[in-house]
Amino acid sequence: MSAAAPVLIAGGGIGGLAAAIALAQHGIATRVLERRAEFSEAGAGIQLGPNGVRALRRLGVDRLLAPHVARPAEIVVHDGTAATVLARLPLGDWIEARHGAPYWVAHRRDMQATLLARAAELPLVAITTGFAATRVEERGTGIRVQSETGEVAEGAALIAADGQFSRLRQTHFKAPPLAFSGKTAARTVLDAAAMAGTLDIAATGVWLTSQAHVVHYPVRAGREVAIVAIVDEDWQEEDWGAPIDRDGLMSRLAGFSPHLLGALERAPDWHRWALFDAEALGSWTRGRAALLGDAAHPVLPFLAQGGAMALEDAVTLADCFAACADVEAALLAYERSRVHRTARVVSASRRNGRIYHLSGLAALARNAVLRTVPGARLMSGLDWLYGWRDQGA
C-alpha cells in the first residue's frame, strides 16, 4: 500500500522513530510529530534481547548502535541481603547461538541518537518538533491532527506512539487511566572505572530482597554502568526524571548487603519515576488511527521488554501497511498480529515483579529453584520471548 499523504506518527521516542523508519523502508512517507522542542533522551539504560536486536537489524539501526553497546556474558542473580550468588543465566555467545542475535545493553541517549541518524538517511521521514498532538479528526480518506497550540497536520493515518502517559490513548481511544503499581524506580549512571572491584561491571546483575530489587549492567561500550533500584513506595507523579533525595533512597535500600550499598552510595545523583500498569485495551485501532508501543500496551520493566516491544510493533506495523490494500485493513492486521504476544509479555512482566519481591518461605523456595536449576534451562523458558521472528526475517 502506498499513500500520497504521509502517515502521521505522534511521538519521537523509540517506537515512533522505529515506525517511521520501518514505513519508509516500504516506500511510505511519514511525518513524526514530537512534542518536545529538542530530542534529549533521559540518562538511563535499556536492555535489548535478541528479539529487539533482530528488529534493529530490520531497521538498519544495528550497524549504527553496535559501537555503543555492551554485550554481557551472563545475568548474575544475587540474594540481595547475603550477597550470595543464586544463579548465573547465560547471555553472550550462548543466547546469540540459540536465537541468531545477541543480547545488547545500551544507553538510551545512544539509542535515540542512532534512531535519529537512521531516520535522517531516509528522505521519506520528516520530523516536526514542538508539536504536542491533542485532537484527532478523521476526514474522508485522511486524518487531521491538531496540536495544543493550534498547529495542524494532515495525513493518511495516525500512529499514536506517545508513551505510557499517552494523551491520545486517553482522549481519542477513551482508555481508562493507568493504575499505580505501588513501586517506583530510581536510576543512575556511573563511570565503570570507578566501580571496578565493587561489582561485576561486565555482567548484568540482579539483587533481590522482599521490599526492593536492584539491576545493573554496562552501557556505552562498557565505559559506564547503568543502575536501577525498584522499591515499594507510594510516590505517583507522572514524571520520567524527577530528582530523588539520595539519603532517602539509601534508607529504603538499607536491607541490601553492605557490598552493594557501598557501590550505590558512590552515585552523586538519582532520578526516579513511578511504575504504572494497565489492563489490556479492547482495541488499539480506531478508524485510521492506532496505538503503538507503551501507548498501546504499557509494560512493567521486570522483563526488560518495553523497548523491544515497541521495535517489534514498528516493523510489524510497516509489514502490514506493505501487505494490505488500505489503511484500516493494515491497522487491523497490525493489531491482530501483536495483541496476543504483547499481552503475554505484559502478564509475564507482572509475574516476574511478584517473584522478585517474594518474602518468607516463598522467597526461600524461589532461591532454591535458582540455585538448583541450571541457568541454561531457566533461560530456555524464555525462548518464546527472545525467539520472535518478524514477517521479513
For this structure, is 356 an active site residue? no
377: left (phi over 0), alpha (psi -120 to 50) or beta: alpha
287: left (phi over 0), alpha (psi -120 to 50) or beta: left
User: Rounded to whole angstroms, how far apart are CA atoms 393 and 379?
Assistant: 23
At 253, give phi and psi (nearest 5°): -100, 15
Catalytic residue among 217, 334, 356, 386: 217
Q: Which residues contact 375 (CB under 8 A, 6 or more apart)?
A: 74, 87, 88, 89, 90
User: Rounded to whole angstroms, how far apart are CA atoms 157 and 332?
Assistant: 13
All cell numbers assigned to 362: 516463598
User: Rounded to whole angstroms, how far apart are CA atoms 217 and 58?
Assistant: 25
At 85, give phi and psi (nearest 5°): -85, 125
Classified as helix, coil or strand, 15 is helix
Any idea which residues carry the catalytic annotation? 217
